[in-house]
Amino acid sequence: MNIKDYIASGILEAYVLDQLSEKERMEVLQLTQAYPEIREELNKIESAFEELAFQTAITPGAHVKDKILSHLEQNEPYTPVKWSHKKVRSQTIGNAFRLALAASVSIALVASILAGVFWNKWKSTEDKLKGLLAQNQEIASEYNQVQQRLAQIESDLKVVNNPAFHRVRLQGTGQSPESEVQVYWNPSSQEVYLNVLKLQKLSEDNQYQLWAIIEGKPVDAGVFDLAISTLLKMKSVGNASAFAITIEPKGGSATPSLHTMQAIGNTEG
């Protein structure tokens, strides 16, 4: 069997989310023991759900734990429901029918064996087809993502290569000497793009804010988070003499908090 097809079919994700029939579950379990690649993939899927749950955990009220513990003290384990079975009444069949019955049973048997053989053939072909279709879709999906990323890079490249854009280097300040950011600024079209090379991580409550210094006064040029790997379009700025970056509460501020200044750089006049 082809392990890649099997993984691409998405069956392992369904296994982790407890969405398979008993038969499919057994199959996954057997394959997991036979193929380390499948075991490893399964492990990563489990990690993803575990990590997601822990990163988005919410602490329940303290009273819930008390309630559970007091339940434990009092309650017996759940008693399983017992099923009663009706006894099937045995029947006697008249002698006259025995022969006819035997004949029809033989015919049915042969027919069902043949049906079984063909069904298996059809089934395995269908499974193969499903595996290929799934793999095909996964590749198409990955291709789309690459395509989008490429389009982004191409548009970034146009900015970087355009001589009308001035590249302004923003260097770290005393409190964050490591910081490094580039601003691509086109004074005539007033477009501003940001390229973050290095900035420290922020807490959840804060965002970075870009300021353009215009006639000695800081003017808001937009807020941004760190999780960007491409050029970021900021607010339009006309005649800036410098750009600076500060840390502000989420959403940005009207005036910069100068003590949080992370980087600053002058435009070449």
Partner 1 sequence: MSDKFEGHIAPPELVALLQARNKAAFNYLYDHYSGALYGVILRIVQKQDIAEEVLQDVFLKIWNKIDTYDSQKGRLFTWMLNVSRNLAIDKVRSKELRNERKTDEMENNVYSYEHKSQVHQSIDSIGIKEQLDKLREEERTVLEYVYFKGYTQSELSKEKQIPLGTVKTRLRMAIKNLRNVLGIS
* Interface with partner 1 (CB under 8 A), residue from 61, 94, 216, 251: 61
Number of shown-chain residues binding partner 1 (CB under 8 A): 53
Residue among 46 and 239 whose Cβ is closer to partner 1: 46
- Listed in sequence order, the residues at least 6 apart from 191 whose beta carbon sits closer than 8 Å to its beta carbon are 159, 165, 184, 185, 233, 236
Residue among 54 and 83 whose Cβ is closer to partner 1: 54
Q: Tokens standing for 238?
A: 């006309």
CA 76 to chain centroid, in Å, comes to: 41
Element (H, E) at 182: strand 180-186
* Interface with partner 1 (CB under 8 A), residue from 71, 82, 85, 217: 71
Let me know: does 37 contact 7? Beta carbons within 8 Å. Answer: yes
246: number of Cβ within 10 Å: 24
> Binding to partner 1 by residue 14, rule CB under 8 A?
yes
Binding mask 16-55 for partner 1 (x = CB under 8 A): xxxx-----x---x------------x-xxxxxxxxxxxx
> Binding to partner 1 by residue 77, rule CB under 8 A?
yes
Give the distance between the most distant pair of CA atoms in the chain. Answer: 112
Element (H, E) at 248: strand 242-249
Point out which span in 8-16, 107-115, 251-259, 260-268 binds partner 1 (CB under 8 A). Answer: 8-16
**Secondary structure of the chain: what % helix, strand, coil (to 5)?**
50, 20, 30
Question: Considering only residues 96-155, where is the footprint of partner 1 by CB under 8 A?
Answer: 130, 133-134, 137-138, 141-142, 145
Closest approach, Cβ 233 to partner 1, in A, equals 18
Nearest to 192 by CA among 236, 159, 229: 236
> Binding to partner 1 by residue 56, rule CB under 8 A?
yes
> Binding to partner 1 by residue 247, rule CB under 8 A?
no
Question: Which sign does the torsion angle of CA 159, 160, 161, 167 carry?
Answer: positive
Task: Catalogue the E-assigned strands of 58-176.
Answer: 166-172
Residue among 64 and 150 whose Cβ is closer to partner 1: 64
Binding mask 171-200 for partner 1 (x = CB under 8 A): ------------------------------
Q: Tokens standing for 122?
A: 């059809």
Residue among 218 and 252 whose Cβ is closer to partner 1: 252
Question: Considering only residues 206-235, where is the footprint of partner 1 by CB under 8 A?
Answer: 227
> Binding to partner 1 by residue 13, rule CB under 8 A?
yes
- Listed in sequence order, the residues at least 6 apart from 155 whose beta carbon sits closer than 8 Å to its beta carbon are 231
Task: Write out the residues near partner 1 by the rule CB under 8 A.
Answer: 8-11, 13-19, 25, 29, 42, 44-61, 64-65, 67-69, 71-72, 75, 77-78, 130, 133-134, 137-138, 141-142, 145, 204-205, 227
